[in-house]
Amino acid sequence: SKIGNGYAHAKIILMGEHAVVYDYPAIALPFSAVQVHVQVKASQHSTSHIDCQYYAGPIDEAPSMLANLNRAISLTLDSFKILSQPIQITINSNIPQERGMGSSAAVSVAIVRAICDYYDIDISDKQLQLIVNQAEVIAHESTSGLDTLMTSSNNPVIYRKSQTPRPFELALDAYLVVADSGQAGQTKLAVSHVGQLKDRKPELVKELMSAIGNFVQQAYDAISEKDVQKLGRLMTYNHYYLNQLGISNPTLDHIINAAWLGGALGAKLTGGGLGGCVIALASDENSAIEIAQVMQDAGAINSWYFRLS
C-alpha cells in the first residue's frame, strides 16, 4: 500500500539575531544534521491518527501542543480539496525543541510534504510556506516566516524584516559546531528584555544594534572573500554585543568561553538566547571535533558539526 514521505531540516541563525527585530540584517543557515521525517499511509482506524514522541492517537483528540500540526494538516487537505480517507501520520524527529532550531516549522513542513507526496500533489515552495506560516502563527503568535523558509530550503539567506530574504552562496573551508546548552531558549522573554532596555537606554541599545548590523554586513563580505578568520572574529564580537544586550547567561558564556579557549575562530550564542544553542567556527574537521568535545565538557548536552559548503 502507498506511503507518502516528507522531510525537513533544522535552521541556525549565524549572526544578527535580535538586531533583526529592529530591521538590521541577519544571516541564517539550513542545519541538516538534525531532521524530521514524516510518513503518511492509510489509517487502520476509522479516523485519522498521528503518532509522534508526545502523542499517538486520533488527530482530533491530539493535545493542544500539537494544534499547529493539526492546522497544517487541515490547511493542506483544504487547500487541495482533498477528500481524505483516514490517514496515519507518523513523525520521526531528532530536532531538539525550544532551541531556536525551528523544530515546529520543520515538523509542519515535513507533514505538508508527506501529505502532498501521498496524494501525488506537486506543491510549490510558495504554497508550502503559506500553509506552514499559517500553522506557525498558532505555535508562535507572530512569525517572521524565517523558520519556515530555512527549514524548507537548502540555501543560506541574508535577510531584513523590511526586505525579502536573499539566498546566497556559502562555501567555506571551515566547519560550524553547534552545541545544545540543554536549557530551553527563551526568545519571547529575551526580545521583551531588549525592548525594555531600549526604553531605558535608547542610545546604548541603538548603538549596540547598529554595531551588530555592521558585523553582519562585514560577515557577509568576509564569507564572499572566504576570510574565515575574519568571520570568526565577527561572530565573537556579535556575541559580546548580545551579551551587553543582556540575553546571554552564565551557562552559555561558559560553553562559549570553552570554545574560544579550545581553538574556535569565533563563537556566539544563536537564536533567541537566555538558553538554547551556541555555535562555534572551526578551521578544520579535527578542530571541530575538539571544540565540540570541550563544549560538551563545559556542559553542553549535545553537539553537531558540519562543513560550511
Site for ligand PMV, rule CB under 6 A:
13, 17-18, 20-21, 100, 144, 185, 187, 191, 271-272
Cα-based angle 184, 186, 187 (whole degrees, multiple of 5)? 130
> How far is 92 from 77, CA to CA, in rounded Å?
21
Q: What minimum distance in Å lies between the beta carbon of 37 and ligand PMV?
A: 22
For residue 219, the minimal CB distance to ligand PMV (Å) is 16
- Nearer CB in complex with ligand PMV: 49/160: 160
Query: Which of 4/185 has CB closer to ligand PMV?
Result: 185
By C-beta, is 262 or 275 nearer to ligand PMV? Answer: 275
Q: Which is nearer to ligand PMV, 262 or 271 (CB)?
A: 271
Pairing of the two strands 49-51 and 87-93: parallel
- Residue 285 CB, shortest distance to ligand PMV, in Å, is 26
Residues 6 or more apart whose CB falls under 8 angstroms from that of 43 comprise 49, 85, 86, 87, 88
Smaller CB separation from ligand PMV, 62 or 300:
300
CA atoms within 13 A on the CB side of 224: 8
Q: How far is the CB of 120 from ligand PMV (least distance, A)?
A: 34
**In angstroms, what is the minimal distance from the CB of 20 to ligand PMV?**
5
If the CB atoms of residues 185 and 266 are measured against ligand PMV, the closer one turns out to be 185
Q: How far is the CB of 261 from ligand PMV (least distance, A)?
A: 26
Tally of CB atoms within 10 A around 32: 15
Q: Check: CB of residue 187 under 8 Å from CB of residue 272.
A: yes
For residue 40, the minimal CB distance to ligand PMV (Å) is 27
Rounded to whole angstroms, the Cα distance separating 18 from 187 reads: 9
- Of residues 9 and 49, the one with the C-beta less far from ligand PMV: 9
Distances (CA, A) of 126 to 8, 81, 129, 152, 282: 15, 18, 5, 10, 35
Round to whole Å and give the CA distance between 103 and 69. Answer: 12
Cα distance between residue 101 and residue 255, in whole Å: 18
Look-up: residue for cell 492509510?
42
Residue among 74 and 217 whose Cβ is closer to ligand PMV: 217
State in angstroms the smallest separation of the CB of 167 from ligand PMV: 18
Please state, in angstroms and rounded to a whole number, the distance separating the CA atoms of residues 186 and 36.
22
Residue 139 main-chain phi, psi, to 5 deg = -80, -35
Q: 157 - beta bridge partners?
A: 28, 167
